[in-house]
Structures are given as structure tokens and as C-alpha cells.
Amino acid sequence: MADVNRGNRPLSPHLQIYRLPMTARLSILFRITGVGMTLGALLVTWRLIAGAVSPEASATADAVLTSGLGNLVMLGSLWALMFHACNGVRHLVWDAGFGFDLATAEKSNMIVVGASVVLTLLVVLIIR
């Protein structure tokens, strides 16, 4: 019966209506990439251990990691590492007390995303 006394007041914003600011979305993505990098680390570890175990195990790991899906997962892991590093640098700047005003925070959002993509592409070009 609480709705009877509600009048014309709007509903509270929820995730279907309210759009999170870019800084909040990057904060969530920072946490997701931190967890996601574990997958890449496990795959690299598997590849290294397989190389030490036997040529057959090494060939199997190599086949999985160089497949289309394997390349995509490793590329995603590389981007996650670069994003995590770039956002970590931004957090160091924030820890020093700089960049909290809205305009600077918005610029640093775009710098973090852009730098992570550019660094990922540079690493891919270097290792190819």
C-alpha cells in the first residue's frame, strides 16, 4: 500500500535507466581485467610447463595457444595487462593528489583506453 502515497514522485534510477559515468565503468573493468589476467597467466604457465615436460605436451599447448581462439584469448589477456598498467599509472597520479577535477578525469579515461589499445598493438607488431 506504500504506492498509494507515492504521488507523482519518480522512481529511483536503476541500472536500466541510470548510466554509470565512464570512470565508474573503467573502475569495474579494472577489477574484471585483474581477474581475467589470471587466465592468460595460467595459459602461459601451462605452455612453459608443457615445454619442460615433453615435446608432445609442448606441441599440444602450442597448438591450443596458436589456434584462432587461443590467439584471441592471448590478445585479450595482453590488452587486459596493458589496460591494467595504464589505469594503475592513473591511480598513482590520483594518489599523488592530481587529476580529480571532472574535466581531467574524463580526459584520463580516454587516455587510459587509448593508451592500452596502442600499447597492445605495439606489442603485437613487435612480436610478429
Q: Please write the tens of the pLDDT for every residue from 29-73.
A: 999 999 889 989 999 999 999 999 999 999 999 999 999 999 999
Residue 88 resides in a domain: yes
Residue 34 resides in a domain: yes
Rounded to two decimals, the pTM is: 0.82
Alpha helices by DSSP H, listed for 96-127, are 102-127
Instruction: Give 74's Cβ-side CA count (13 Å radius).
Output: 18
Q: How many domains does the chain have?
A: 1
Phi/psi at 10 (5° precision): -75, 160
Per-residue pLDDT reduced to its tens digit, 3-21: 566 677 666 766 677 788 9
CATH of the domain at 66: 1.20.1300.10
Picking from 90, 97, 98, 119, the residue whose alpha carbon sits closest to that of residue 23 is 90
Sign of the CA dihedral running 15, 19, 25, 27: negative
Q: Would you place residue 2 in the very low, low, confident or very high pLDDT band (cuts 50, 70, 90)?
A: low
Residue 10 resides in a domain: no
- Residue numbers of the domain that contains 100: 20-127
Q: Is 71 helix (H, G, I), strand (E, B) or coil?
A: helix
Residue 98 resides in a domain: yes
Cβ–Cβ contacts within 10 Å for residue 60, how many? 15
Picking from 98, 87, 104, the residue whose alpha carbon sits closest to that of residue 31 is 87
Which run of H or E residues covers position 38? helix 22-53
96 pLDDT higher than 70: yes
State how far the Cα of 96 lies from the Cα of 79, in Å rounded to an integer. Answer: 26
Residue 3 grid coordinates: 504506492
Ligand-binding annotation for 14, yes or no, is no
Q: What rounded mean pLDDT belongs to the chain?
A: 91
Residue 13 resides in a domain: no
Residue 4 resides in a domain: no
